[in-house]
Amino acid sequence: MNSKEIRNRFLSFFERRGHVIIPSAPLVPENDPSVLFNTAGMQPLVPYLMGTPHPRGARLANAQKCVRTQDIDEVGDNTHDTFFEMLGNWSLGDYFKEDAIKWSYEFLTSKDEGLGLDPTRLYITVFEGNDDAPRDTEAFEIWKKYVPENHIYFMPAKSNWWSPGDNGPCGPDTEMFYDVTENGLGVMTKDEYMAADDRQDVVEIWNDVFMEYEKKEGKVIGKLAQKNVDTGSGLERIVMAIQGKNNIFDTDLFVPITEKIKALSGGEIKDIRASRIVADHVRTATFMIADGVRSSNTDQGYILRRLLRRAVRYADVLGIAHGTLAEIVSVVAEKYQGVYDNVGAQAQTIIDEIHKEEDKFRKTLERGMKEFIRVSSGGEVSAEDAFQLFSTYGFPLEMTEELAKEQNASVDKDGFNEAFRKHQELSRAGAEQKFKGGLADTSEMSTKYHTATHMLNQALRTVLGEHVSQKGSNITAERLRFDFSHNEKMTDEEKTAVENIINQKIAESLPVTYEDVTIEEARKRGAIGVFGDKYGETVRIYKIGEGNNRFSLEICGGPHVQNTSELGHFKILKEEAVAQGIRRIKAVLE
């Protein structure tokens, strides 16, 4: 079974059990500045897990594009990658443990409808209990109907409690592992099982989280209003289990890429780890660029830059010629044809961006390496030198650290971060902070700002003209930021006019409602926003006001407030240029 069939089987299996299939959200979260990328399937669904009704219902399933770079150093082993798809089915206050476990088991083992995995190779972990929540004997009892008791282990919160960060929905989970050894491991004691896990002889293939708790600032504060199920299954790992491989790079998701790398390396791979790193990083970069990320020194752009520069360095280890790395893009596009068509549609942009970043880096790489050897010769790279390597030679800190490790040298990371903070007003630590937290953190205020952003978009079009279109938006609990196309600085009168329109519409207490319609219908009604390109695809349109008093109609995933009266007073703090033809507004609700 290839990866496409596995993905399709998963979605069909849950569709037949009453789930609505929703599309993957883009890699960069729309309204959640607390994370740089979606790192799990549940991330875009946080508001709905917290209680906002989802317009498509209480049972959903999809494959969600995710990026995790915390384990970037592990890429090259058998199972780590930085981009992955997470298959997931959700119950938003609907079914709970009984059905979730039954369906996980059925999908994994059923030959007709599911994956037909060998049930004797399944191992299960369940939560052993702590001060926050009791031992999950309920899950244990349910599992016993399907797998022998001696394949089930109780584990602590460290491994069997799942939350997206310090804030938000969370709960105990039950995880499914598959034995990928040739002869099978049979019955194991808990210690033997844990050792097998360390050796990657058993691989986690699915996680069912019973999300009925809430966390605030790192502490579990109690139960949510509803009991949810959040399941996640890493597609790459499941494909590996089905295809009988012991590593993800030998599955059909990666083989065309590693074959291409082999050809680019002159027909022979001299360093398997380097080849896997290049395969992974270029694949991830391809998806990031397709979703609008561009290399830079901050936030998402910094992660992209790190990945591409690391790929270039390992391409050199493999003897891949300058300028040929981008040839991998078309292989990735082909693999995801019919699944993520934006990769193919934007192939040229992606190739250009990779070339640009590679050229830029290569200009300084050789001199930078000389400089690195000089400054690391004493066994220690000072903060000033690390910062100099970054600012003059474009070496991301992690690269300096990695090079230093190879030389048994150390790097003054704290000093670097201090210098970075001073010069960039944004430290890497600051960026990483953003991996913590979550939408739930700020969801009420963010929701208000989200609605205000729609109103701003419309008010700008009314005051400045129909050429105004959204070029970006970023929302925190404190303010909104909105980028839009317009050639001139706004006058004070224009700014006041925009504020007045919005405050007038707030005063009118307009209802905010949504409807799910086809793309064609959305166009016909004059909705603004980003249109997908799939014919017949259903989109959600949010409407502010009704009938003759309709103020705004925009394609959007929500969530929004129910009435504009909830917003308070709208005020523009700043209007400035961010690029040629693009203006930025910062505004607050008071």
CA pair distance 428, 303, nearest whole angstrom? 10
Which residue number has the CB closest to ligand SER?
232
Question: Rounded to the nearest whole angstrom, what is the least distance from the CB of residue 87 to ligand SER in the complex?
Answer: 9
Size of the site for ligand SER (CB under 6 A): 10
Query: Token digits for 528?
Result: 């603004």
Please list every residue from 455 through 514 that binds ligand SER, using CB under 6 A.
none
Question: Rounded to the nearest whole angstrom, what is the least distance from the CB of residue 3 to ligand SER in the complex?
Answer: 19
Residue (42 or 351) nearer to ligand SER, CB: 42
CA pair distance 451, 542, nearest whole angstrom? 9
Residues in contact with 100: Cβ distance below 8 Å, sequence separation at least 6, in sequence order? 89, 91, 208, 210, 229, 231
Question: Rounded to the nearest whole angstrom, what is the least distance from the CB of residue 86 to ligand SER in the complex?
Answer: 6
CA pair distance 471, 449, nearest whole angstrom? 17
Q: Which of 76, 171, 232, 438 binds ligand SER (CB under 6 A)?
A: 232
Q: x/- binding map, residues 147-186, to ligand SER, per CB under 6 A?
A: ---------------x------------------------
Query: Token digits for 292?
Result: 């609008």
Are the CB atoms for 69 and 82 separated by under 8 Å?
yes
Question: Rounded to the nearest whole angstrom, what is the least distance from the CB of residue 73 to ligand SER in the complex?
Answer: 20
Query: Residue 37 interacts with ligand SER (CB under 6 A)?
Result: no
Piece of the chain touching ligand SER by CB under 6 A; list 37-45, 120-128, 152-160, 392-400: 37-45
Identify the H or E element spanning 122.
Answer: strand 122-127
Residue (87 or 274) nearer to ligand SER, CB: 87
* Inter-CA distances, 423 with 151, 196, 388, 391, 437, Å: 54, 47, 12, 10, 25
Question: Rounded to the nearest whole angstrom, what is the least distance from the CB of residue 174 to ligand SER in the complex?
Answer: 11
The end-to-end CA distance of the chain, in Å, is 56
Question: Rounded to the nearest whole angstrom, what is the least distance from the CB of residue 474 to ligand SER in the complex?
Answer: 24
Residues in contact with 418: Cβ distance below 8 Å, sequence separation at least 6, in sequence order? 383, 427
Query: Token digits for 502?
Result: 């919005």
Residue (90 or 393) nearer to ligand SER, CB: 90
Piece of the chain touching ligand SER by CB under 6 A; list 38-46, 355-363, 426-434, 438-446: 38-46
Query: Residue 196 interacts with ligand SER (CB under 6 A)?
Result: no
Residue (42 or 567) nearer to ligand SER, CB: 42
Look at residues 3, 8, 66 and name the one whose alpha carbon lies nearest to residue 39.
Answer: 66
Residue (207 or 451) nearer to ligand SER, CB: 207
Residue (435 or 514) nearer to ligand SER, CB: 435
CA pair distance 502, 505, nearest whole angstrom? 5
Are the CB atoms for 85 and 235 separated by under 8 Å?
yes
Residues in contact with 370: Cβ distance below 8 Å, sequence separation at least 6, in sequence order? none
Residue (210 or 390) nearer to ligand SER, CB: 210
Piece of the chain touching ligand SER by CB under 6 A; list 39-47, 123-131, 273-281, 399-407: 39-47
3-state secondary structure 222-273: EEEEEEEEEEEEEHHHHHHHHCCCCCHHHCCCCHHHHHHHHHHCCCCCCCHH
Residue 266 carries which side chain, given as an amino acid letter? G
Residue 182 is given by DSSP the state: S
Q: Which of 78, 231, 346, 474 binds ligand SER (CB under 6 A)?
A: 231
Unique residue bearing structure tokens 């797998």: 147
Residue (171 or 368) nearer to ligand SER, CB: 171
SS3 61: strand
CA pair distance 174, 154, nearest whole angstrom? 9
* Conformational region of residue 232, where left means phi above 0, alpha means psi within -120 to 50, and beta covers everything else: beta
Question: Rounded to the nearest whole angstrom, what is the least distance from the CB of residue 118 to ligand SER in the complex?
Answer: 23
Helix %, strand %, coil % of the chain (to 5):
45, 20, 35
Piece of the chain touching ligand SER by CB under 6 A; list 36-44, 315-323, 455-463, 529-537: 36-44
Please list every residue from 330 through 359 that binds ligand SER, using CB under 6 A.
none
Piece of the chain touching ligand SER by CB under 6 A; list 9-17, 151-159, 229-237, 274-282: 229-237
Q: Which of 24, 62, 89, 207 binds ligand SER (CB under 6 A)?
A: 207
Residues in contact with 528: Cβ distance below 8 Å, sequence separation at least 6, in sequence order? 457, 458, 461, 469, 470, 552, 553, 554, 555
Piece of the chain touching ligand SER by CB under 6 A; list 34-42, 192-200, 331-339, 347-355: 34-42
Residue (40 or 419) nearer to ligand SER, CB: 40
Question: Rounded to the nearest whole angstrom, what is the least distance from the CB of residue 157 to ligand SER in the complex?
Answer: 14
Q: Which of 40, 293, 312, 404 binds ligand SER (CB under 6 A)?
A: 40
Query: Residue 212 interacts with ligand SER (CB under 6 A)?
Result: no
* Inter-CA distances, 374 with 4, 65, 386, 419, Å: 50, 41, 12, 21
Residue (88 or 438) nearer to ligand SER, CB: 88
Please list every residue from 80 through 139 that binds ligand SER, using CB under 6 A.
88
Piece of the chain touching ligand SER by CB under 6 A; list 224-232, 305-313, 359-367, 518-526: 224-232
Using alpha carbons only, give the angle 307, 297, 348 rounded to the nearest 5 degrees: 55
Question: Rounded to the nearest whole angstrom, what is the least distance from the CB of residue 41 to ligand SER in the complex?
Answer: 5
Question: Rounded to the nearest whole angstrom, what is the least distance from the CB of residue 440 to ligand SER in the complex?
Answer: 13
Q: Which of 81, 230, 291, 499 binds ligand SER (CB under 6 A)?
A: 230
Piece of the chain touching ligand SER by CB under 6 A; list 225-233, 369-377, 406-414, 490-498: 225-233
Are the CB atoms for 272 and 78 separated by under 8 Å?
no
Q: Which residues bind ligand SER (CB under 6 A)?
A: 40-42, 88, 162, 207, 209, 230-232
